[in-house]
Amino acid sequence: MRVLGIDPGLRNMGWGIIDVSGGRIAHVANGICHSVGEDLARRLCSLHAQLTEVVERFAPEAAAVEHTFVNKDAAGTLKLGQARGIALLVPAQAGLEVGEYAPNAVKKTVVGVGHAAKQQVEHMVRLHLPGIVIAGPDAADALAVAICHSHHVQSAGRLQAALAKAAS
């Protein structure tokens, strides 16, 4: 299964793609979509076009997006939410199911601690994907989201198999 992880951002939207086979994961690609334009509409359009190109190029089979957190700046939070809308829309337009994860859930899955620092997340991503060149912190976070989603999908599959076995 090929998984696309997305770390939403209005200036920088991180993305990371991994292949999952059984319990093994392998890095495919990662990068950052940088918004271009002066006004919000053009910036969102730019992010949409860039992320659409990533989906078309790498053909993921599943996607996951990190939830945004609410901060003191309501206007900034609203703009980030609009960028998150693009992060949800693009994979949905490609017909993908999109998982959503809180930042603490991603950190807990990848690092083992829900309040890990960004550096810890990047370090653990490097341990999961040896030899990787990471495009930046946003791409590292996106790869962490993809890893988190792969773990949750595998866990759900094991649970369904156990329930089916118990029912028979």
In the chain, where the domains are located = 2-167
For residue 75, the model assigns a pLDDT of 80
Is 73 assigned a ligand-binding role in the annotation? no
For residue 79, the model assigns a pLDDT of 85
138 is catalytic: yes
Please give the residue that has the higher pLDDT: either 164 or 93. 93
pTM above 0.85, yes or no: yes
For the domain spanning 2-167, the CATH number is 3.30.420.10
Predicted confidence (pLDDT) per residue in 22-65, tens digit: 889 999 999 999 998 889 999 999 999 999 999 999 999 999 99
CB 62 within 8 A of CB 1: yes
Is 7 assigned a ligand-binding role in the annotation? yes
Distance of CA 84 to CAs 11, 79, 99, 107, Å? 12, 9, 13, 19
CB 27 within 8 A of CB 18: yes
Q: Which residue is catalytic, options 7, 19, 53, 97?
A: 7
Give the pLDDT band (50/70/90) at residue 118. Answer: confident
For residue 159, the model assigns a pLDDT of 47
Give the chain's largest Cα–Cα span. 60
Give the pLDDT band (50/70/90) at residue 90. Answer: very high
Q: Which residue is catalytic, options 38, 56, 61, 66?
A: 66
Dist CA 112 CA 118 (whole Å): 13
66 is catalytic: yes
For residue 156, the model assigns a pLDDT of 59
For residue 96, the model assigns a pLDDT of 97
Q: Which residue is catalytic, options 38, 53, 122, 138?
A: 138
Give the pLDDT band (50/70/90) at residue 154. Answer: confident
Extended strands (E) in 11-139 = 12-21, 24-34, 62-66, 98-101
